[in-house]
Amino acid sequence: MSTSRTARSTAEHVAAVLARVAPLPAGDVDLGELAVEGPGRVLGADVHAVAHVPPFDAAAMDGYAVRLADLPADGSPVTLRVVGDLRPGSPPDRCGCETRPRHADSEGHLRTHNEGGGAVRIMTGAPVPAWADAVVPVERTSTGRFVAGGPTTEREVTLARQPRAHVRHRGEDVRPGNLLGRAGDAVTPALVAVAASGGLAALPVRRRPRVGVLSTGSELVPSGHGGGAAAEGRIPDSNSLLLAALARAAGADVVRVGAVPDDADALRAALDSVVGAGGAAAVDLVVTTGGVSAGASDVVRAVLDADDARLADVDVAAVALRPGRPQALARWRGVPWVALPGNPVSAFVSFALFVRPALAVLAGRDPARPVRRPAAEAWPSPPGRTHVVPVRTLPSGAVERAAAPGAGAGSAGGHATSALLGADALALVPPDVEKVEAGDELDVLPLDLPFGFGARRDS
């Protein structure tokens, strides 16, 4: 068991957490499943297209497919016979055109020649006949507009050469072999759609990490338990709800146990339950809050201090962090366990700094990194530890302390859980700073990356 005698830096504790996790294996998942299961999946390998997009020359407008050679270069209108009709899904050689074979192109496709000139009525997305090289929009012709569902009735059409050809050429968007996504990229709706268009039926993705969460404390009762709890000195269990919501917003699947009393055997049983005592682990990570300090009721420390074959790699640390100084790491039945302090703001901060990066690594993503932002106002900062301050980002890009609802102007309310409602980032004030001045550049960790667990942004 490792116990830090001197305060560990935030970066050192992040490294200690990440040393315990590794990317989950990847496997092919059908695009239909990926499209409906929500965020959190990440590519496990580079993905390349296997088909052309578009797969053929297609009309970009409703109008008439023509040969530019049949249209005067000076823009003078001509009248052409309407020799066919093409709709989306129609083979280009079944338009009713008067055609004869001409030659095979470099890709082996049969090219045809339109006998005597003419125009083919064509709808957006329909394949353009091989002899045609332009589409004249219907509103630029004597027809004016088409009637939805109506058959071809016009025998001829008057039209002129246009500045644009309005043809989407085969492969002009995507070609076989084009890189669509790299290993570690999030599976987005756009990627799913482009992969489908590019000829793929599945993507190589890592499964979402599975996280078991629980809170400790005999004083905790389920939310909405009733007014009698306060009279008994008990409070609602908000922390297990907080952890579950944060983990899900960070892209993980969650097993929420709820509150466990301050009893070592009860905690061991809860850990066995969430981890899975029968062999294969049911979760990839366990996260708990509370009980990591040195109090008489700190049940997590009691379990970590005991000799237990299920326990390994125990690391109890004091981190130079405010809030969130007491932290602990271990493995329970081989599953990494991150134990966070029980104060809700401390738990929130600790999750953002330590657990979210671990989930990113499990999912195969790079952990989010802080960005530099100027402070919009001055505020005091206790020296000696990294001070983490919930902040909101202003339209200018500067940040100000997030205020609890109802707090007066200039009141930070950063100690209050309700201040998180107005926060969209966490400012990391260095240990040697006693006062943040307006304009000072700070490291700021956004709370909306990669899948979002930031709070409400005030309008």
Residue 431 has pLDDT above 70, yes or no: yes
- Which residues of the chain are in CATH 2.170.190.11 domains? 58-168
What's residue 352's pLDDT?
96
Superfamily classification of domain 371-446: MoeA, C-terminal, domain IV (2.40.340.10)
Query: pLDDT tens digits for 91-149?
Result: 866 665 544 444 444 444 434 445 557 999 999 999 999 999 999 999 999 999 998 87
Q: Which CATH architecture has domain 2-24+208-363?
A: 3-Layer(aba) Sandwich (3.40)
Could you tell me the pLDDT band of residue 230, with boundaries at 50, 70 and 90? low
Residue 456 has pLDDT above 70, yes or no: no
Give the percent of the chain with pLDDT over 70.
83
Residue 385 has pLDDT above 70, yes or no: yes
Residue 227 has pLDDT above 60, yes or no: no
Beta strands in 290-424 (DSSP E): 311-318, 321-322, 326-332, 335-340, 371-374, 379-380, 386-393, 399-401
Residue 151 has pLDDT above 80, yes or no: no
Could you tell me the pLDDT band of residue 224, with boundaries at 50, 70 and 90? confident
How far is the CA of 408 from the CAs of 345, 411, 413, 436, 457, in angstroms?
A: 20, 5, 9, 20, 18
203 near 49, Cβ under 8 Å? no
What's residue 459's pLDDT?
32
Mean of pLDDT over the chain? 87
26-53+173-206: CATH topology is Molybdopterin biosynthesis moea protein, domain 2 (3.90.105)
Query: pLDDT tens digits for 155-214?
Result: 999 999 999 999 999 999 999 999 999 999 989 999 999 999 999 999 999 999 999 999
Beta carbons within 10 angstroms of residue 73's beta carbon: 8
What's residue 344's pLDDT?
93
367 near 356, Cβ under 8 Å? yes
What's residue 454's pLDDT?
40
- Tell me the sheet residues that pair with 399: 375, 393
Gap between the Cα atoms of 39 and 188, Å rounded: 8
User: What per-residue string of b and e applies to 302-318 under the rule 16 or more CB within 10 Å gives b?
Assistant: ebbeeeeebbebbbbbb
- Which residues of the chain are in CATH 3.90.105.10 domains? 26-53+173-206
Which single residue is written with the structure tokens 């239909």? 32
DSSP calls for 131-147: T--EEEEGGGSSS--PP
Rounded CA Rg of the chain: 32
- Which residues of the chain are in CATH 3.40.980.10 domains? 2-24+208-363
Average pLDDT of span 12-24: 96
Residue 268 has pLDDT above 90, yes or no: yes
Could you tell me the pLDDT band of residue 427, with boundaries at 50, 70 and 90? very high
| Of 184-188, 235-239, 330-334, highest mean pLDDT | 330-334
DSSP calls for 245-294: HHHHHTT-EEEEEEEE-S-HHHHHHHHHHHH-TTSS-S-SEEEEES--SS
- Tell me the sheet residues that pair with 216: 260
Average pLDDT of span 336-361: 96
Between 2.120.10.30, 2.170.190.11, 1.10.150.120, 2.60.40.150, what CATH number should domain 58-168 receive? 2.170.190.11
Residue 275 has pLDDT above 80, yes or no: yes
% helix, strand, coil for the chain, step of 5: 20, 30, 50
Return the sign of the alpha-carbon dihedral for residues 244, 284, 313, 299: positive
